[in-house]
Amino acid sequence: ASVVNKIAAGEVIERPASVVKELLENSIDAGATRVDVRLEAGGRDLIRVTDNGCGIEPDDLMLAVSNHATSKIVSADDLFEVGTMGFRGEALASIAEVSRTLLRTRTAEANSGAELRVNGGVAEAIQPAGCPVGTTIEVRDLFFNTPVRQRFLRTPQTEIGHATEAFVRIALANPKVHCRLEHGQREVHDLPPTDDWRVRIAALFGDELAESLIEVESVDPPISLRGYAANPQYSRANNRLQYLFLNGRNIRDRALQHALGEAYRGLLLTGRYPICFLRFDMPANLADVNVHPTKLEVRFQDGGRLYSQLLSTLRSKFLSSDL
Ligand code: ADP
Ligand code: MG
């Protein structure tokens, strides 16, 4: 079973960035208003995520690191109406399978905390621990027991780049959450909570870009599209600054990216890509996020409708603004 677990773990956990993504999503699901991420050596030595969320009951702690244990899905029907980021219950188990993991957690009702260590999938006994309300998860020596995967890790600079990108996507989707990222002695980001998406965008990408953004809003019930598209003077040689969100979750979607390209057609030089921050909100049953374990890709019930909504909204916006 252990080999099977390790193979399965590899599907979800590819590199430090996957750990950062999964742990941050859990913190968001736990209702955290503050999340601190600390990495050492590009995350190979240490990934630590501390949140002030709801914590885990000591009785549920062992379950939290077991395969397919999720507190978030109650019935099979829920699978089609996922409101939380996580729902498969495999992330923590996978992480604990391929690292030395420490969970330290306390709920608001408990007067003290508890901690659990899992080394390469082998859990120790749960111990009492003094800690504030919330959860800290420390992941050390990622892939220490899967040397092949460890060999695939790149330099700390490359890994920190991917991990930072995972952090940025979640920080963008959750502007009300205070998010901090440290790598070694360096503070990479410290993003205070805000109600204004533009403030978070400015904190991440600079005031100049944020001030040039064109606001986009189009509501076609039950689908709404809101956010910002950058003035065409801001473009990129790649499409990495095209941030799309669906119900608070960062997604990649080729069709929607194509719609963006079409909307900017004639406004950008060839080989340049627009920058945008756009979020779609719709009832969860109009999109299937359960397509792939990492959940970056979704299947829309009516992709064509979203394509047209995005294209026509941006086109009319560009026609009415002085570009
Ligand atoms: P999923 O998120 O798909 O439910 P995970 O393996 O990521 O599965 O987490 C397993 C369970 O552990 C979650 O369902 C949740 O109950 C608990 N959990 C994990 N991280 C946290 C956290 N930071 N705060 C509170 N509970 C957590
Ligand atoms: Mg999860």
Model pLDDT for residues 150-177, shown as the tens digit of each residue: 999 999 999 999 999 999 999 999 999 9
- 315 Cα–ligand 1 center, Å: 41
Give the pLDDT band (50/70/90) at residue 9. low
Q: Which of 311, 290, 310, 320 is nearest to 70 (CA)?
A: 290
Which atom of ligand 1 is nearest the CA belonging to 22? 7
Question: What pLDDT score was predicted for residue 173?
Answer: 97
What is each CA distance from 21 to 79, 215, 268, in whole angstroms?
21, 28, 32
> Is the per-residue pLDDT at 195 higher than 70?
yes
| Residue 126: both structure tokens together | 């749960």
CATH number given to 2-191: 3.30.565.10
Q: How many CB atoms lie within 10 A of CB 196?
A: 10
Residue 134 Cβ < 6 Å to ligand 1: no
Structural contact between residues 103 and 131, judged by C-beta atoms closer than 8 angstroms: no
Residue with CA at minimum distance from ligand 1 atom 7 = 91
Considering every ligand atom shown, identify the ligand nearest to the alpha carbon of residue 71 and give its number. Answer: 1
> Is the per-residue pLDDT at 192 higher than 90?
yes
> Is the per-residue pLDDT at 60 higher than 90?
yes
Question: What pLDDT score was predicted for residue 72?
Answer: 66
Q: pLDDT, tens digit, for every residue of 107-121?
A: 999 999 999 999 999
Phi, psi at residue 277, to the nearest 5°? -135, 105
Mean pLDDT calculated for residue range 59-86 = 70
Question: What pLDDT score was predicted for residue 183?
Answer: 97
Structural contact between residues 281 and 293, judged by C-beta atoms closer than 8 angstroms: no
> Is the per-residue pLDDT at 84 higher than 70?
no
Q: Which helix (H) or strand (E) element contains residue 207? A: helix 207-212
Question: What pLDDT score was predicted for residue 7?
Answer: 62
Question: What pLDDT score was predicted for residue 90?
Answer: 86
Q: Which of 233, 187, 225 is nearest to 208 (CA)?
A: 233
Q: Alpha-carbon distance 142 to 46, whole Å?
A: 8
Phi, psi at residue 132, to the nearest 5°? -70, 170
Spans of all domains in the chain? 2-191, 206-320
Tell me the best of 11, 25, 29 to mutate to test the pocket of ligand 1, counting ligand atoms within 8 Å of each CB and taking the most. Answer: 29
- 92 Cα–ligand 1 center, Å: 7
Q: What is the CA radius of gyration of the chain?
A: 20
Neighbouring C-alpha atoms within 13 Å toward the C-beta of 84: 20
Q: Alpha-carbon distance 116 to 49, whole Å?
A: 15
Residue 213 has what DSSP assignment? P
Q: Which of 150, 96, 103 is nearest to 120 (CA)?
A: 96
Question: What pLDDT score was predicted for residue 19?
Answer: 97
Please report, in angstroms and rounded to a whole number, the separation of the first and last CA atoms in the chain: 60
Whole-complex ipTM: 0.99
- 244 Cα–ligand 2 center, Å: 20
Which atom of ligand 1 is nearest the CA belonging to 93? 6
Q: Which helix (H) or strand (E) element contains residue 152? A: helix 147-152
- Of residues 138 and 322, the one with the higher pLDDT is 138
Fold annotation for 206-320: Ribosomal Protein S5; domain 2 (3.30.230)
Question: What is the share, in percent, of the chain residues with pLDDT greater than 90?
Answer: 82
- 23 Cα–ligand 2 center, Å: 7
Q: Alpha-carbon distance 208 to 211, whole Å?
A: 5
Mean pLDDT calculated for residue range 65-84 = 63
Residue with CA at minimum distance from ligand 1 atom 21 = 26
Strands 223-229 and 214-220: antiparallel
Handedness of CA 82, 175, 213, 319 (dihedral sign): positive
Question: What pLDDT score was predicted for residue 69?
Answer: 60
Q: Alpha-carbon distance 77 to 83, whole Å?
A: 12
Residue 231 Cβ < 6 Å to ligand 1: no
Mean pLDDT calculated for residue range 40-50 = 97
Residue with CA at minimum distance from ligand 1 atom 8 = 89
> Is the per-residue pLDDT at 8 higher than 80?
no
Tell me the best of 22, 73, 92, 136 to mutate to test the pocket of ligand 1, counting ligand atoms within 8 Å of each CB and taking the most. Answer: 92
